[in-house]
Amino acid sequence: MALVPITPESHKVQIRLAYASSDNFTGRPVYARADCYLLAPAEILLRRAVDLAAAMGLGVLVFDAFRPSEAQWALWNHTPDPDFLADPRRGSPHSRGVAVDLTLTDQVGGGGNELDMGTAFDAFTPHSHHGFMDISAEAQKNRAILMGIMTSAGWDFYRNEWWHYQMFDARRLYPVLSDSVLPRPMMPQVSLLGAA
Protein backbone atom coordinates (compact mmCIF):
# COMPACT_ATOMS: atom_id res chain seq x y z
CA MET A 1 0.00 0.00 0.00
CA ALA A 2 1.46 3.34 -1.06
CA LEU A 3 2.04 6.46 0.99
CA VAL A 4 0.19 9.45 -0.47
CA PRO A 5 1.78 12.92 -0.35
CA ILE A 6 -0.26 15.46 1.62
CA THR A 7 0.20 19.05 0.43
CA PRO A 8 -1.61 22.34 1.04
CA GLU A 9 -2.65 22.42 -2.63
CA SER A 10 -3.91 18.84 -2.89
CA HIS A 11 -5.62 18.63 0.51
CA LYS A 12 -6.54 22.22 1.41
CA VAL A 13 -4.63 22.06 4.70
CA GLN A 14 -1.85 23.97 6.36
CA ILE A 15 1.23 21.87 7.08
CA ARG A 16 3.72 22.76 9.79
CA LEU A 17 5.61 19.56 10.56
CA ALA A 18 6.94 20.08 14.07
CA TYR A 19 9.74 17.53 13.71
CA ALA A 20 11.10 19.18 10.57
CA SER A 21 12.11 22.23 12.64
CA SER A 22 13.63 22.83 16.07
CA ASP A 23 10.18 23.86 17.37
CA ASN A 24 9.48 20.52 19.07
CA PHE A 25 10.22 18.89 22.41
CA THR A 26 13.68 17.69 21.30
CA GLY A 27 14.77 21.26 20.49
CA ARG A 28 16.16 20.27 17.09
CA PRO A 29 14.94 18.98 13.73
CA VAL A 30 14.31 15.24 13.59
CA TYR A 31 13.30 15.20 9.90
CA ALA A 32 15.68 16.50 7.24
CA ARG A 33 12.74 17.19 4.93
CA ALA A 34 9.24 18.51 5.67
CA ASP A 35 7.38 16.02 3.49
CA CYS A 36 3.96 14.88 4.68
CA TYR A 37 2.46 11.47 3.85
CA LEU A 38 -0.34 9.12 4.88
CA LEU A 39 -1.27 5.65 3.69
CA ALA A 40 -4.11 5.76 1.17
CA PRO A 41 -6.91 4.69 3.61
CA ALA A 42 -5.84 7.37 6.11
CA GLU A 43 -5.51 9.98 3.36
CA ILE A 44 -9.18 9.38 2.48
CA LEU A 45 -10.18 9.95 6.12
CA LEU A 46 -8.12 13.16 6.24
CA ARG A 47 -9.99 14.47 3.18
CA ARG A 48 -13.29 13.70 4.92
CA ALA A 49 -12.16 15.58 8.03
CA VAL A 50 -11.04 18.60 6.00
CA ASP A 51 -14.45 18.69 4.25
CA LEU A 52 -16.31 18.45 7.57
CA ALA A 53 -14.18 21.24 9.05
CA ALA A 54 -14.72 23.42 5.97
CA ALA A 55 -18.50 22.99 6.29
CA MET A 56 -18.13 24.63 9.72
CA GLY A 57 -15.94 27.43 8.37
CA LEU A 58 -12.78 25.90 9.84
CA GLY A 59 -9.41 24.81 8.46
CA VAL A 60 -6.97 22.05 9.36
CA LEU A 61 -3.32 22.44 10.37
CA VAL A 62 -1.19 19.26 10.32
CA PHE A 63 1.70 18.94 12.80
CA ASP A 64 2.74 15.39 11.89
CA ALA A 65 1.57 12.43 9.82
CA PHE A 66 3.76 9.52 8.63
CA ARG A 67 6.76 9.29 10.94
CA PRO A 68 9.49 6.90 9.79
CA SER A 69 10.41 4.26 12.35
CA GLU A 70 13.86 5.86 12.59
CA ALA A 71 12.22 9.09 13.75
CA GLN A 72 10.15 7.23 16.35
CA TRP A 73 13.38 5.82 17.78
CA ALA A 74 14.94 9.31 17.86
CA LEU A 75 11.94 10.72 19.76
CA TRP A 76 11.83 7.76 22.15
CA ASN A 77 15.57 7.94 22.84
CA HIS A 78 15.14 11.62 23.74
CA THR A 79 12.00 11.21 25.91
CA PRO A 80 10.93 7.61 26.62
CA ASP A 81 7.50 8.55 28.00
CA PRO A 82 4.92 5.85 27.15
CA ASP A 83 2.03 8.16 28.07
CA PHE A 84 2.86 10.39 25.10
CA LEU A 85 5.12 8.37 22.79
CA ALA A 86 4.67 4.87 21.43
CA ASP A 87 7.53 2.55 22.29
CA PRO A 88 9.19 1.98 18.91
CA ARG A 89 9.52 -1.73 19.70
CA ARG A 90 5.71 -1.91 19.46
CA GLY A 91 5.56 0.64 16.66
CA SER A 92 3.64 3.86 16.49
CA PRO A 93 0.53 4.31 14.33
CA HIS A 94 2.48 7.26 12.88
CA SER A 95 5.18 4.84 11.70
CA ARG A 96 2.47 2.84 9.99
CA GLY A 97 1.29 5.89 8.02
CA VAL A 98 -2.16 5.85 9.59
CA ALA A 99 -1.99 8.58 12.26
CA VAL A 100 -2.11 12.35 12.09
CA ASP A 101 -1.45 15.11 14.62
CA LEU A 102 -3.47 18.22 13.86
CA THR A 103 -5.53 21.15 15.04
CA LEU A 104 -8.22 23.46 13.70
CA THR A 105 -7.86 27.00 12.40
CA ASP A 106 -10.40 29.78 11.99
CA GLN A 107 -10.02 29.90 8.19
CA VAL A 108 -10.96 27.32 5.55
CA GLY A 109 -8.33 26.01 3.13
CA GLY A 110 -5.10 27.24 4.70
CA GLY A 111 -4.07 30.27 6.64
CA GLY A 112 -5.91 31.51 9.67
CA ASN A 113 -5.19 31.28 13.37
CA GLU A 114 -5.12 28.12 15.44
CA LEU A 115 -8.11 27.61 17.70
CA ASP A 116 -7.37 27.56 21.43
CA MET A 117 -7.02 23.94 22.54
CA GLY A 118 -5.82 24.64 26.07
CA THR A 119 -2.23 23.49 25.48
CA ALA A 120 0.29 23.60 22.70
CA PHE A 121 0.90 20.59 20.46
CA ASP A 122 3.11 17.99 22.17
CA ALA A 123 2.57 19.39 25.66
CA PHE A 124 3.44 16.23 27.61
CA THR A 125 1.15 16.99 30.54
CA PRO A 126 -2.23 15.78 31.83
CA HIS A 127 -3.61 19.12 30.54
CA SER A 128 -3.38 17.56 27.05
CA HIS A 129 -5.75 14.69 27.88
CA HIS A 130 -9.10 14.77 26.13
CA GLY A 131 -10.97 14.50 29.42
CA PHE A 132 -9.03 17.20 31.25
CA MET A 133 -11.53 19.86 32.35
CA ASP A 134 -9.33 22.50 33.98
CA ILE A 135 -8.95 24.48 30.75
CA SER A 136 -11.08 27.31 29.43
CA ALA A 137 -14.61 26.64 28.22
CA GLU A 138 -13.50 27.82 24.77
CA ALA A 139 -10.65 25.28 24.67
CA GLN A 140 -13.01 22.50 25.85
CA LYS A 141 -15.45 23.43 23.08
CA ASN A 142 -12.70 23.49 20.44
CA ARG A 143 -11.40 20.08 21.49
CA ALA A 144 -14.94 18.71 21.30
CA ILE A 145 -15.38 20.16 17.81
CA LEU A 146 -12.07 18.65 16.68
CA MET A 147 -12.99 15.26 18.13
CA GLY A 148 -16.44 15.44 16.55
CA ILE A 149 -14.97 16.21 13.14
CA MET A 150 -12.32 13.53 13.34
CA THR A 151 -14.50 10.74 14.71
CA SER A 152 -17.25 11.59 12.21
CA ALA A 153 -14.63 11.25 9.47
CA GLY A 154 -13.76 7.75 10.73
CA TRP A 155 -10.73 8.34 12.96
CA ASP A 156 -10.04 6.88 16.41
CA PHE A 157 -8.54 9.16 19.09
CA TYR A 158 -5.81 8.73 21.71
CA ARG A 159 -7.09 9.80 25.14
CA ASN A 160 -3.83 11.47 26.28
CA GLU A 161 -3.37 13.79 23.29
CA TRP A 162 -6.08 16.12 21.99
CA TRP A 163 -4.14 16.46 18.68
CA HIS A 164 -3.60 12.74 17.87
CA TYR A 165 -5.93 10.67 15.70
CA GLN A 166 -5.33 7.28 14.12
CA MET A 167 -7.10 4.59 12.16
CA PHE A 168 -8.80 1.84 14.14
CA ASP A 169 -6.78 -1.36 14.68
CA ALA A 170 -3.66 0.36 13.34
CA ARG A 171 -1.19 -2.01 15.01
CA ARG A 172 -3.02 -5.11 13.82
CA LEU A 173 -3.69 -4.03 10.23
CA TYR A 174 -0.67 -2.00 9.13
CA PRO A 175 3.09 -2.72 9.25
CA VAL A 176 5.74 -0.36 10.63
CA LEU A 177 7.48 1.48 7.78
CA SER A 178 10.98 2.91 7.63
CA ASP A 179 12.36 5.92 5.81
CA SER A 180 13.44 3.58 3.00
CA VAL A 181 9.87 3.34 1.64
CA LEU A 182 9.84 7.02 0.65
CA PRO A 183 10.81 8.36 -2.77
CA ARG A 184 12.99 10.95 -1.00
CA PRO A 185 14.30 10.26 2.52
CA MET A 186 12.84 12.35 5.36
CA MET A 187 15.58 11.43 7.79
CA PRO A 188 19.04 13.02 7.97
CA GLN A 189 21.93 11.01 6.56
CA VAL A 190 23.48 10.78 10.04
CA SER A 191 21.48 8.42 12.22
CA LEU A 192 19.68 9.86 15.25
CA LEU A 193 19.27 6.46 16.89
CA GLY A 194 21.96 7.16 19.45
CA ALA A 195 20.80 10.69 20.24
CA ALA A 196 20.46 11.55 23.91
Give catalytic residue positions: 161
Neighbours of 17 (CB within 10 A): 22
Neighbours of 3 (CB within 10 A): 20
For residue 101, what is the enclosing H or E element?
strand 99-105
Q: What are phi and psi of 63, to 5 degrees?
A: -95, -30
Surface-to-core class of residue 69, CB atoms within 10 Å of its CB (0-12 exposed, 13-18 middle, 19+ buried): buried
Rounded distance, CA 48 to CA 63, Å?
18
Rounded distance, CA 157 to CA 161, Å?
8
